[in-house]
Chains A and B, each alone.
Chain A
Amino acid sequence: MDLALQLLATGLVVGSLYALCAIGWGLIYGTTLHFHVAHGAVFALAAYYAYVAQTWLRLPLAVAVLVAIVASAVSGLLIDLLLYQQLERRGAFRTSIFIASLGLLILLENVLAIVFTPDPMRMDIGALNTAVIIGPVFLTYLHILTVALALAGYGALMLFLKRSRWGQAIRAVSSAPEMARTVGIDLRRVHLLTYAVGSALAAPAGILVAMDVGAEPFRGTRFVLLASVGVIMGGIGSIPGAMLGGLFLGLLENLGIWKLPSEWQSAISFGVFLVFIVLRPRGFFGRTIHSAEI
């Protein structure tokens, strides 16, 4: 039973990271219908922004993290402005945008590997690394911070979407783009905003992983893959769904090995996903997936 509790706690931490990636990715996909795999590159970039800000610019950790989140938001915005919008202007298919995004992901990952080597760059996180013992469960302060930040990120995003004018514009574009256009909403500017917000949500996940085990260039691919799985499980267009999907995947990955050997970790996640999606293609609470949307 102690083991199950430990796995539950670890799963919650990992799930929080997936959830942060998933709500950002889900917001972008739900609004723009871009299958934005370069989200993984933003995730990786965020880690290196934080690393550079702390180690090269010698900023205090909290400031370095804030700088990195802003830089990541700008990076996401620039990806839309300089790549996707150019492609759309020239009448590219969604598939072309997906392939371009994949190309950008591979390119940026390799540039990071050339500049920083493929080895993990460790950050100095001081006392955050201290172990916290809660009954039979061992965590670090960083892990607790991870769960807290995921909840805070989710709460802030929901508030932003429901209460702010720009948030409402994003929701309008997400649910009925043509209607939004006719009432005078500038789709391009809403897309840019969506990329900035979505990227700012992926950034803490990338930074938290880097704070735990170091910044690495190729880690984003796995996270963006799991984020998209989380979004599809949660239901496309649903932010609560993406949050739940991400948490569910983290818990599944960890609790799944309670009774099974750990080398099955990935197979369990994707196996459950396949069964789930066949039985419930709309996910927890989403729209139906149209093949044309990918």
Chain B
Amino acid sequence: MSAVRKDQSRFVAGIAQIGALGMFLVQILRAIPASLRHIAETARQIWFVGAMSLVIIMTCGLFVGMVLGLQLYYVLSIFGGTAALGTVVSLSLYRELGPVVTALLFAGRAGTSITAEIGLMRATDQLDAMEMMAVDPLAFVVAPRFIAGIIAMPILACVFNAMGIFGAHLVGVSWLGLDNGTFWSNMTSSVDVWKDVINGLYKSLVFGGVCTLVATFQGYTTAPTSEGVAYATTRTVVFSSIMTLAIDFVMTAFLM
């Protein structure tokens, strides 16, 4: 009986969290006009969540592309279709792997630091101090990070895609001997800018909003203790990852 009740209360708490997240999104959207006054802070956050994430995004993109190149070359060679390597790699990256893996990496690198930073601001009364100085923390702290995430994520996904294709080219052309012209010409002839590239960027925009929404929400509502901040950062990674993958499925279904 108690186990059932516990499950019920967890379910209700989960629904309440989703509702609170939705309300938080509305509050952020309302605060965005006021946050435009803090354009320098937004630029600083773009640098922080975007530029500072470049190393991990480029490194992971390179290795993902290299692995894709190896695996697909092996599979395609069974059917004598290695010429399609560039096409398959680029479509995989543009449509799915680029936006999704970038979002997962973003949640782990930038999302956790956003949560920890805002959580510590909560724990040390900095957010209350802003309120007392008649400065809306949603406009000064949260909205700039939200905007920065939405701007940075598509750019990071583009970098990830570029590095991935470079990695696949390294393996397929430079290492395994695929013809360079075949690699590029098949890719450019079969990749559609609107259907493949732009749809991938739409996904990145949404994932950027989701990941920073979760990160800022977890930081803003954290219990003001060191343990609370630790739990909040963990929840950021878990919820961002789950939401990214779930939304990816829904968006893929609609954008196909």
A and B part of one assembly: no
| Residues of B near any A CB (own CB < 8 A) | none
